[in-house]
Structure formats: structure tokens, C-alpha cells
Amino acid sequence: MDIEKFMKSKIPQLYFGISNKKLIDNGFKLIPFNNSELVGNSSYNINIHGGVLEQECLEQRLRLK
């Protein structure tokens, strides 16, 4: 789910495995994007928790590359 749809759904918490920045740092070609900036400009309060199983996510992405 993209961040815009997530914010419209008003779900209070977002958990994700690995950030785009970490993937870019590991050689993936992605558009740099900072969800925190978008959320910071919103009137809706959301808690973002990143890095859940980060190493496992990276290993899986590398296997599928």
C-alpha cells in the first residue's frame, strides 16, 4: 500500500521491513523518497516503525534481484 492510501485509511501505525534508502545503499535503483516528510506535512498523526526484520528483508531482495 502506498503512503497516500495508508494516510487516507487513518490507520494509526505503519510497520515496514526496510527503507528505500537502505535498498539504494545496497545497489537497488529506486527513487529516493522520505515518508516521514510526507507524514510530517499531514494533519493526521501516524507512528512509523521501520527496520522490522530489516536484514531478512534485504537478504530476500538480494535473492530476488
Q: Where are the domains of the chain?
A: 3-64
The pLDDT tens digits for 10-52 are: 888 888 899 888 999 999 998 777 766 766 777 777 888 889 9
What is the pTM (predicted TM-score) of this model? 0.67
* Residue 5 pLDDT exceeds 90: no
Q: Report pLDDT for 27.
A: 92
Contact 26, 63 (CB under 8 A): no
Q: Using the predicted structure, report yes or no on whether residue 1 has a pLDDT greater than 70.
A: no
Is residue 22 within 8 A of residue 54, CB to CB? The reply is: yes
What kind and span of H or E run contains 57? helix 54-64
